[in-house]
Structure 1
């Protein structure tokens, strides 16, 4: 009888399933919006006249504002109500996503994407904190695992959706699609319960400003590094300034009676390993996406939709392993899952570095599936480590830490992979640059995409130029993959020593009652 009772108690109610569905759909929308426009950059450049720098900011303007505001918005959700913040975020996200339909100058699109990032910053931490406050501890790991799997594979959903839309319509359809999904979720959000801190502390304005400054300035420097160079004075000033602001934030928060983020949480090894692991996972994953999407489209000649479909197996494996996380965590533990997951990611990246001009999709698919296994093993345990070691009343901030580490890791991964790729490509393409006419030198040296455009107009010699440029790109990709693989393998060992041993994930001694439908804003 006891076993039967336990199985019944662990079973989700229909209300919990619905809350989980809406929360996962909302976080999938936020993550998908990060990747969706990558498939449309060529069309945007042609139709709007956007420069390469403006195209970069159409993508990164969203990421920057999202990363800046995650911690303050998580604290606002704890104080004023998580569902209310989710509603406001979806409304702002939808309106900003729809604006490029009418206002489509490059600078206007950049501004719209930045405002969309503000809305996303309200949405993302609210989705996870609603779940962690709505589910009792015995069910929380399962809900967090599903959420983690969806968040980890949302970028592929964005690539798939945008690829499908671009098969039939212009890039405007991507913005219409994002706005439409946001409108549906805006209505559905009113059907799920809310929660908040029953004894809210005064909002830490000073901490909010310092955290936004530290993350924003640091991420800005990372974003600009591939274009300007890592040793550019402006880039160095931004990175060092961001780190300095982060140090000031930590000192101030440690001395504040009611801090935005209790930095003492990082003394907890489980919490610290979870946050660090997430940063590294997304560094590797988005660095991998940056490299492999270009390889699929420029070397193998895939369309945007074909590229997204080629990446789809990653989502299936990640979600599957994340759903299995509640079974894996108590049997294996955080240390082994983290160490093995990051090491497997490193092995997959090393295999990506072995691709050459004769590689087929099968040669690409094998390391992609291996990478998805590594990501699936460690993403849900890392998120669980964070949320189970933060008081329930502060789950908005815990969710924001979880999300901020993902965004910072993604920014570093793309910037690092882009810089190493550009350096390797530039060094290996130089003989071809010396041989082409002066008018073609700059495009050929800039990127493989530009070199392929030049090759189309180069007559009989165009095929030779295209092959040479592809080889130069592959050399750069191999170097970038090797760097990312080295980072993963080294940090897998480091976190293996740092992470607490034993099975399962230690949690703070707290078992609050879950909110009911009556607990609304």
Structure 2
């Protein structure tokens, strides 16, 4: 028997496979705006950190947590939030997430102490954890299989370029107002999207299986500990006992999660799905993509602002061309996927992404913008080739009633990859910079040694007050930064090339890339 608030899976208008209905287009629009909001919020504050530190007195450690507190709660709660959406209704969870996100974003408007801002970001991350999987699962439930690939492709393009939107909008806001305007805009947009949530259809699984509490606890613990370890690694060192303990605890909790799920009649996530080559390789590809691209963003933004002296808005505009090939290719790849299969798209996309990142080593402190744009656009083509096929592989090989969990797997892979990418790039960049700037550190007064050795931004601040020797110090520090950036670029490129080899072996070809057999090809219940 169907649930009392459900409707027939498809009406006559929806069963038309030649085009989208206005209701579907509106649902896609709302879903894309919501996912763009939560992804943009990850990057939006990066351009405002100097102003925020000056106005609030936040320490470097507090600035780190202002950025990473959002990522930590978001990543840890994605899978449980996706399962709740499947069980209780995806639209309702989307609106709940938007409400919590908006409340979290509004806190710094009223209290701007560093501790309150960190707390607000953690609250916003909780809300984002409910929003992200709901946006994708609403689409997979609201579009028939014949139309689903194109909708997923557009969603993937928006999700993949949302960070650029965050940098661009925050740069525009900072040209006219203070950093508080970023929080105001996030709260206002979430409020508007919350109201639009009443205008879209919902869906939920018809089989009300009991919530998997042991699985929920173990996976939230696993992801939370592992992400926390990657966040702390650049500051403490990868071999620091606390970092090793956190990451080992995360791995142990992940193993416990797998063992628990194999024994559950109604698991939160059927871990046997990873034995499906399309599902497994798609998840691995997404993790690698966001590891590489967020690592690239980490040092590219610093390079533009600290080496080339771009303003926050100029640096955001410089990165904007990345969004064009990502959006265009993501929308088109679902049409190509049935003809070529996952293997060439995922492996070639990873290789091209690696080439783009490797081209960053050609840049110096006198590079022109076309020279900067070339590696970014090449990397964007690589992302565009593989991001939509990877997401499609995940959602098409998961039962319809578990689309919220499938969406959460997609998003969790992105978030874990992003956390590792920033930590890896940050660690290599910091080590390379510290090693190459050491001769300058030895030459400056004792009071300036620590800031000059810590970062390029601090070294440039010292150089401003160093008199005639300041420009020489600034130039030396910039060259040291470029050496560290080259080392980070090579490391990330090697990760991409290794991933390309693995995906060329693991990902299925054309015949193995078709959706897994389903008991019912109907859409999920719609209320």
- C-alpha distance in 2 between matches for 1:454 and 1:250: 51
Q: Which residue of 1 aligns with 2:82?
A: 74
Q: Which residue of 2 aligns with 1:132?
A: 140
Runs of 4+ displaced beyond 3 Å: 5-8
TM-score in terms of structure 2 length: 0.96
Q: Which residue of 1 aligns with 2:522?
A: 513
Q: Which residue of 1 aligns with 2:43?
A: 35
Would the aligned equivalents of 1:331 and 1:504 in 2 still touch at CA under 8 Å? Answer: no
- C-alpha distance in 1 between matches for 2:453 and 2:240: 20
Residue 417 (str. 1) matches residue 428 (str. 2)? no
- C-alpha distance in 1 between matches for 2:205 and 2:478: 55
Residue 59 (str. 1) matches residue 70 (str. 2)? no
Please list every run of 5 or more consecutive structure 1 residues that lacks an aligned counterpart in the other structure. none
Would the aligned equivalents of 2:262 and 2:271 in 1 still touch at CA under 8 Å? Answer: yes
1:424-439 residue pairs with structure 2 within 5 A?
A: 424-439=432-447
- C-alpha distance in 2 between matches for 1:508 and 1:331: 17
Q: Which residue of 2 aligns with 1:362?
A: 370
User: Which of 405, 410, 432 matches 1:397?
Assistant: 405
TM-score in terms of structure 1 length: 0.97
Deviation at 1:275, TM superposition (A): 0.2
Would the aligned equivalents of 1:152 and 1:379 in 2 still touch at CA under 8 Å? Answer: yes
Deviation at 1:333, TM superposition (A): 1.4
Deviation at 1:8, TM superposition (A): 6.0
SS of the aligned residue for 1:514 comes to coil
Would the aligned equivalents of 2:204 and 2:524 in 1 still touch at CA under 8 Å? Answer: no
Deviation at 1:392, TM superposition (A): 0.5
Deviation at 1:229, TM superposition (A): 0.5
Would the aligned equivalents of 1:10 and 1:138 in 2 still touch at CA under 8 Å? Answer: no
Deviation at 1:28, TM superposition (A): 0.2
Q: 1:33 to 1:371 in 2, by over 3 A?
A: same
- C-alpha distance in 2 between matches for 1:515 and 1:221: 38
Would the aligned equivalents of 2:432 and 2:484 in 1 still touch at CA under 8 Å? Answer: yes
Cα-to-partner distance string for 1:472-510 (whole Å, 9 max, x where unaligned)? 000000000000000100110111001112268221222
Q: 1:504 to 1:159 in 2, by over 3 A?
A: farther
Residue 328 (str. 1) matches residue 336 (str. 2)? yes
Q: Which residue of 2 aligns with 1:23?
A: 31
Residue 101 (str. 1) matches residue 109 (str. 2)? yes
Residue 501 (str. 1) matches residue 509 (str. 2)? yes
Residue 486 (str. 1) matches residue 501 (str. 2)? no
Would the aligned equivalents of 1:331 and 1:503 in 2 still touch at CA under 8 Å? Answer: no
Deviation at 1:515, TM superposition (A): 5.1
Would the aligned equivalents of 1:334 and 1:503 in 2 still touch at CA under 8 Å? Answer: no
Q: Which residue of 2 aligns with 1:382?
A: 390
Would the aligned equivalents of 2:338 and 2:514 in 1 still touch at CA under 8 Å? Answer: no
- C-alpha distance in 1 between matches for 2:14 and 2:416: 40
Q: Which residue of 1 aligns with 2:93?
A: 85
User: Which of 284, 300, 319 matches 2:308?
Assistant: 300
- C-alpha distance in 2 between matches for 1:227 and 1:404: 24
Would the aligned equivalents of 2:342 and 2:513 in 1 still touch at CA under 8 Å? Answer: yes
Deviation at 1:513, TM superposition (A): 2.3
Cα-to-partner distance string for 1:229-288 (whole Å, 9 max, x where unaligned)? 001000000011101110111111111111111001001010000000000000001000
SS of the aligned residue for 1:353 comes to helix
Q: 1:101 to 1:370 in 2, by over 3 A?
A: same
Please list every run of 5 or more consecutive structure 2 residues that lacks an aligned counterpart in the other structure. 1-12
SS of the aligned residue for 1:9 comes to coil
Q: 1:327 to 1:242 in 2, by over 3 A?
A: same
SS of the aligned residue for 1:170 comes to coil
Would the aligned equivalents of 1:64 and 1:216 in 2 still touch at CA under 8 Å? Answer: yes
Deviation at 1:18, TM superposition (A): 0.3
**Aligned alpha-carbon RMSD (Å):** 1.3
Deviation at 1:74, TM superposition (A): 0.3
Q: Which residue of 2 aligns with 1:230?
A: 238
Would the aligned equivalents of 1:329 and 1:503 in 2 still touch at CA under 8 Å? Answer: no
Would the aligned equivalents of 2:401 and 2:524 in 1 still touch at CA under 8 Å? Answer: no
Count of residue pairs the alignment pairs up: 514
1:436-455 residue pairs with structure 2 within 5 A?
A: 436-455=444-463
- C-alpha distance in 2 between matches for 1:187 and 1:137: 28
- C-alpha distance in 2 between matches for 1:502 and 1:158: 36
SS of the aligned residue for 2:203 comes to coil
Cα-to-partner distance string for 1:202-226 (whole Å, 9 max, x where unaligned)? 0001110000000000000000000
Residue 406 (str. 1) matches residue 403 (str. 2)? no
Deviation at 1:6, TM superposition (A): 13
- C-alpha distance in 2 between matches for 1:255 and 1:305: 52
Q: Which residue of 2 aligns with 1:258?
A: 266
